[in-house]
């Protein structure tokens, strides 16, 4: 079974609910989980998530990249928990005290798994975020979060995160496909899951596209582990 999280980000001019429904129906059996963010939630509202994903029992990750004071992030997590979301992504850069410590406590209370962004897949991540990579990984370890996000587009970053974190953290890596990274390359560098959006969701045949990516992922991982 491949280790792919499919990012369901509907483009602006499509009807979002039909677009999501079609892809959830076709892809559910193949994915590890789905990830949704502002492109969907701004248009449908969080309230629609439970119904839209009711046909698929895979976990749903809410990627709102929260970056606020703890009390307000806790409000958001409470809304997401009510909507049936399994995990929530926040930025690490807001720091522990009064922000992530409050958020993580609330997430645990609600059974929502926290994931922290410790590095990003675009080039600008090196301007600020990556300068604090080891501190962000330490925050993730200290707060015992469920996972972290690190970029498939810069595999050396994934390797550093894996080295710093040992086997403690799940690493989710975006950047496969549309952003140029090859399926399997992030897992070969230490990631646990590869996040794929447009390479699957914009394909005329998303199921076939995902099957090909999983095939490629498994092939590359077998190769790098042999």
Interacting residue ranges for ligand BMP, rule: CB under 6 A: 7, 9, 37, 63, 120-121, 149, 151, 174-175, 177-179, 195-199
User: Tokens 């990984």, residue?
Assistant: 137
Is 106 noted as a catalytic residue in this protein?
Answer: no
User: Tokens 């005290």, residue?
Assistant: 97
CA–CA gap between residue 188 and residue 50 (Å, rounded): 34
Residue 200 CB, nearest approach to ligand BMP (Å): 8
Residue 45 CB, nearest approach to ligand BMP (Å): 18
CB contact at 8 A, 125 and 97: no
Catalytic residue among 65, 113, 207, 212: 65
Residue 102 CB, nearest approach to ligand BMP (Å): 22
Q: Which two tokens stand for residue 101?
A: 């410590």
What value does the CA radius of gyration of the chain take, rounded to a whole number of Å?
A: 17
Closest to 202 in 3D by CA, of 179, 218, 183? 179
How far CA 3 is from CA of 11, 28, 37, 173, 174, in Å, comes to 24, 13, 20, 11, 12
- As beta bridge partners, residue 113 has 87
Q: Closer CB to ligand BMP, residue 34 or residue 102?
A: 34
Q: Closer CB to ligand BMP, residue 151 or residue 183?
A: 151
**Rama region for 18: left / alpha / beta (φ>0; ψ in -120 to 50; rest):** alpha
CB contact at 8 A, 173 and 193: yes
**Maximum CA pair distance of the chain?**
48
Residue 226 CB, nearest approach to ligand BMP (Å): 27
Q: Closer CB to ligand BMP, residue 111 or residue 124?
A: 124
Residue 123 CB, nearest approach to ligand BMP (Å): 11
**Which residue has the CB atom at the shortest distance from ligand BMP?**
197
Q: Closer CB to ligand BMP, residue 105 or residue 178?
A: 178
User: Tokens 């897949």, residue?
Assistant: 121
Q: Closer CB to ligand BMP, residue 100 or residue 213?
A: 213
Residues with a catalytic annotation lie at: 65
């Amino acid at each position: 079974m491949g280790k792919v999280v499919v990012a369901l980000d509907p483009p602006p001019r499509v009807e979002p609910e039909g677009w999501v429904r079609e892809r959830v129906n076709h892809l559910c059996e193949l994915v590890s989980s789905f990830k949704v963010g502002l492109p969907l939630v701004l248009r449908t509202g969080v309230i629609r998530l439970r119904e839209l994903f009711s046909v698929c029992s895979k976990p749903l990750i809410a990627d709102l990249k929260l970056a606020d004071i703890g009390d307000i992030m806790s409000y958001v997590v409470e809304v997401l928990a009510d909507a049936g979301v399994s995990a929530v992504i926040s930025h690490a850069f807001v720091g522990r005290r009064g922000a992530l410590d409050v958020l993580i406590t609330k997430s645990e209370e609600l059974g929502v798994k926290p994931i922290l962004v410790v590095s990003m897949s675009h080039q600008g991540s090196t301007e600020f975020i990556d300068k604090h990579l080891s501190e962000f990984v330490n925050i993730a370890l200290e707060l015992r979060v469920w996972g972290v996000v690190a970029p498939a587009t810069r595999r050396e970053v994934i390797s550093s995160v894996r080295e710093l974190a040992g086997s403690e953290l799940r690493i989710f890596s975006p950047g496969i496909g549309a952003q140029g990274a090859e399926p399997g390359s992030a897992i070969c560098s230490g990631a646990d899951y590869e996040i794929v959006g447009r390479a699957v969701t914009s394909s005329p045949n998303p199921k076939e596209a995902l099957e090909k990516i999983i095939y490629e992922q498994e092939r590359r991982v077998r190769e790098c582990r042999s």
